[in-house]
């Protein structure tokens, strides 16, 4: 079963833990797909400006070390709100 993928034909980021940036928040979660309603993430956690303690960088560094503190099993973010998506590990750590 090694290397077997159950879900071929998906988006390149499917199954990858990503950082999705909006104007006021960072979402970190497992990318699923882009749907008509927006980008779908699974097991997503959020840094929200003015709400979450610390900085975006501190949140990301903690997430890199300890993993995603998920608050949403399935999170849809409208494409119009998305400023960028990158793989979590691409930010280093």
Positions in the binding site for other proteins (CB under 8 A):
1-7, 14-17, 30, 43, 64, 66-70, 87-89
> String of b and e for 12-35 (b: at least 16 CB within 10 Å)?
ebeebbbbbbbeebbbbbbbbeee
Q: What is the smallest separation between the CB atom of 30 and other proteins, expressed in angstroms?
A: 8
**CB closer to other proteins, 36 vs 66:** 66
**CB closer to other proteins, 19 vs 39:** 19
Q: What is the smallest separation between the CB atom of 61 and other proteins, expressed in angstroms?
A: 13
**CB closer to other proteins, 28 vs 80:** 28
């Amino acid at each position: 079963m090694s290397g077997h993928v159950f879900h071929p034909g998906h988006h390149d980021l499917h199954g990858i833990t990503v950082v999705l940036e909006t104007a006021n928040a960072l979402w970190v979660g497992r990318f699923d797909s882009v749907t008509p309603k927006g980008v779908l993430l699974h097991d997503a956690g959020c840094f929200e400006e003015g709400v979450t303690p610390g900085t975006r960088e501190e949140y990301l560094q903690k997430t890199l070390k300890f993993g995603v503190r998920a608050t949403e099993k399935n999170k849809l973010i409208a494409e119009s709100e998305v400023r960028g998506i990158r793989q979590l590990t691409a930010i280093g750590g």
